[in-house]
Amino acid sequence: MSRNPTDGRSQPRLFADEFEGFGPSRFRPADELAPVFEVRGKRVSRLKRGTKKHAPKAPGVYGMLDNRDRLIYVGKAKNLRCRLLSYFRENSRDPKAGKIIELTKRLVWEQTGDEFAALLRELELIQRLRPKFNVLGVPGFQRHHYICIGKSPAPYVYVTPKPTGKEQGTYGPFVKRYKSEDAARRLNDWFKLRDCPQTVALSFAEQGELFDVERSAKCLRFELGTCSGPCVGACARMDYSAGARGAKAFLDGRNKSMLRTLQSQMEEAASAFEFERATSLRDKLRALQWLDDRLSLLRTARDRNSFVYPLAGADGQTRWYLIHRGEVKAVAFPPEAESAARVSALLATTFTGHPAPAVLSDVAVDSVLLVSGWFRKYADERVKLFPHAKAEAACAIETKTPDGNIS
């Protein structure tokens, strides 16, 4: 998700005159026209009266515009009427909601077929329009970043907002930088990899020198036993490289023995009443388990998680959400005789055989996290999922003419 708010000047002229919707969406069937409405008022009381009179008891997204027609906030709702009226309850609303509604001079909304569509549409609008109150003042809202493992001669794990493409491995993106930096530090400690600046000279044990040089470690990690000390020639290149390969194997998901070892050590320390050591091991395990869980999610989304999700909406219509590698790519109504060819073409475009990207884009990750969060919250919905081959077969049936020929 983009993290930079706009000042309104770069927003499209969606809101200059009469509100006709937030624009096109890939989370709506091409032939669906979304109901929209707006309420204007210089005073909050007038906005409240208009909302109470016109807001529907239906899912959708809404926007708040200030006196210069700048979009300052976008939200979603399972029930637009209930959600919008909550902004006018002074005794129960949070301070942020109060500040938003005080600045609002136009209140606009767009209905969606179901709650899932509202979630997707909200994300799409925040990514595209970047309203001020959606991206400012939210704790932990940071730019995306990546965990990387560098190249020889002495690679190590580090965090960066912009990978160069020359790394041995790039993983992410992530959003909680303090967690990523903690996990990277613990990986370097476990595999005894350096984390010093590139300007620090390195010397492996097998490198001969013409004259004896007195070298001293550049940090305490060597003394603490959490770095193999390539800066003082305390390790062989082969041994250091083995540690770097171990770190990469963990990041790739090929070797998780470190987690099992930490779990075992923590339990042993607790059994021996060594609670301080057990607490330290627990903290290490939590940091690395968080990283492993996040990387597993990204790998699963990148390599698998391709299916069709049929969802009956509040409006009585069923929609097919075409989810490829964990991300909603398109939405369509189930095929009928006149639409089967179009739906079939959309399926073919969505579920192509292109290689999975090595790293998901930040926009894709936000969508992947939304989808995974939805199925985590509504686990029973998973039984509805079916492969795209079944959807293609349904399209083929609909394209048959009464005499059995394909139209």
Q: What are the 10-residue block averages of pLDDT along the chain, 407 residues in total? A: 42 67 90 92 93 95 92 95 93 87 94 95 90 64 80 89 87 88 95 84 67 65 83 84 93 93 94 93 95 88 85 93 92 92 93 75 81 91 94 86 46
Q: Determine the pLDDT at residue 302.
A: 73
Q: Determine the pLDDT at residue 14.
A: 60
Distance CA 304, CA 300 (A): 5
What are the structural domains, with CATH classification, of the chain? Answer: 36-135 (3.40.1440.10), 145-206+217-302 (no CATH), 307-398 (no CATH)
Distance CA 113, CA 354 (A): 31
Structure tokens of 246?
A: 């171990």
Q: Determine the pLDDT at residue 211.
A: 45
- Cβ atoms of residues 322 and 308 within 8 Å: yes
Distance CA 56, CA 107 (A): 14
- Cβ atoms of residues 97 and 87 within 8 Å: yes
Neighbour-count burial for 214-249, b at 16+ CB within 10 Å, e otherwise? eeeebeebbeeebbbbbbbbbbebeebbebbbbbbe
Alpha-carbon Rg for the chain, nearest whole angstrom, is 27
Neighbour-count burial for 283-296, b at 16+ CB within 10 Å, e otherwise? ebbebbebbbebbe
Distance CA 308, CA 311 (A): 10
| All residues at 6 or more sequence positions from 145 whose CB lies less than 8 Å from its CB, including other chains | 159, 160, 161, 172, 173, 174, 175, 177, 180
Q: Determine the pLDDT at residue 397.
A: 87
Q: How far is CA 164 from CA 149, 152, 169, 244, in A?
A: 11, 15, 11, 19
Q: Determine the pLDDT at residue 12.
A: 47
Q: Determine the pLDDT at residue 400.
A: 65
Q: Determine the pLDDT at residue 262.
A: 94
Q: Determine the pLDDT at residue 7.
A: 44
Distance CA 154, CA 198 (A): 10
